[in-house]
Amino acid sequence: MKLSELSDRSGTPVPTIKFYLREGLLRPGKPVTATLADYGPAHLTRLGTISTLRRAVGLSVAQVRAVVGLIDEGADRIEVMKALQAVIQRLDAPRPGRTAAGNQVVAAVGWPDVPTGARAALDAHLEAMAALGVMPTDAQLTAYARAVDDIAAADVANAVEAEDLEELVVRAAVGMHMNAELVQRLLALAQTSRSIMSYGRAAPGPSRLSPPAPGP
């Protein structure tokens, strides 16, 4: 297909496609003449991947380039998942577990006790909570961990079903970002609903602490 057709079918403006080509996010089309190239289904798929990473997840061009570079290299699926998690969830380098609470919850849920960026982030957050004097009890922490373990199982199962790395990146990125935000919204609704059930019917309208509505 011509560049104009690729643009129409993908919903991506021609100048944007040309930008992606220059930045190395999209491979060049097959040359037809000195000024024309032919683009195929793989280009259409890649534009969908880029759109998800840029618009739905909010990654920068450099971050997208790093992720699609792994796809083009045929990287191991685990490496792709680790790279996505590090970028989307802003995880630091892996470190051995260093908090007793982190050790306890990993053991309680049965997660592998290995150094990862995610474990380091959990330990750092637990240390911050402890410094503020707001540490959850062991029972609370275990309950939270078991709840999110079910969510993680659903996300990973969905990603595992991906037929190729391109689809894996889209599914995993949505799971790590959009689904995580969905969980936050569901948690807010659940907490509100539990409060209503415990303390009585909620008054309609915004809270007294809600920000004022914008003026005309």
Question: Tokens at residue 188, please?
Answer: 């807010």
pTM of the model: 0.74
Give CA–CA dist 158/45, Å, rounded.
19
pLDDT given at position 36: 86
Give the Å distances, CA to CA, from 210 to 72, 187, 214.
47, 19, 12
Average pLDDT of the chain to the nearest whole number: 89
How far, in Å, are 203, 205, 213 from residue 209 at the CA level?
A: 14, 12, 12
> How large a percentage of the chain has pLDDT more than 70?
93
Pair 67, 104: CB distance under 8 Å:
no
Give the position of tokens 């699609």.
68
Q: What is the pLDDT of residue 91?
A: 82
Residue 12: which of 56, 58, 51 has the closest Cα? 51
Q: What is the pLDDT of residues 37-86, one digit of tens each?
A: 999 999 999 999 999 999 989 999 999 999 999 999 999 998 898 888 88
List, for residues 2-44, the tens digit of each pLDDT value.
999 999 999 999 999 999 999 999 999 998 887 789 999 999 9
pLDDT tens digits for 75-87? Answer: 999 889 888 888 8
| Amino acid identity at 175 | G
Number of Cα atoms under 13 Å in the Cβ half of residue 135: 16
- Predicted confidence (pLDDT) per residue in 99-119, tens digit: 999 999 999 999 998 888 889
